[in-house]
Amino acid sequence: AQSVTQLGSHVSVSEGALVLLRCNYSSSVPPYLFWYVQYPNQGLQLLLKYTTGATLVKGINGFEAEFKKSETSFHLTKPSAHMSDAAEYFCAVSKGSQGNLIFGKGTKLSVKP
């Protein structure tokens, strides 16, 4: 069975600081991995995804994530936080291109001025 663990339900950073949101997964097959962002009272928006190929993937709004198979991790980073990055972030895994998404519990990011 597949599962996703997001470490830290709430992360707070200062504006301009590094953002690091952690995600570990378990999967019996090569996984497809995703990060979604949810702004207050909104639906989920895809930030980035890893399917195959290059293990460092770049997404929207300056975010990137690195797939590390040996560590079963897919951590999300951004070099410099902006106030507009405050939102909830969800890591998700699926089996293949049309598999159902399994979500982590989410990490709420706060950005202090």
Backbone angles phi, psi at 85, to 5 degrees: -80, -10
Number of amino acids touching other proteins (CB under 8 A): 24
Work out the end-to-end distance of the chain between its first and last CA atoms, rounded to an integer number of angstroms: 41
For residues 2 and 17, which CB has a smaller minimum distance to other proteins in the complex? 2
Residues 40-79 that bind other proteins (CB under 8 A): 41-46, 49, 51
Q: Which two tokens mark 27? A: 């999967």
| Nearer to other proteins (CB atom), residue 17 or residue 108 | 108
Q: CA 84, CA 92: separation in Å to the nearest integer?
A: 22
Contacts with other proteins by CB under 8 A lie at: 4, 9, 32, 34, 36, 41-46, 49, 51, 90, 94, 97-98, 100-106
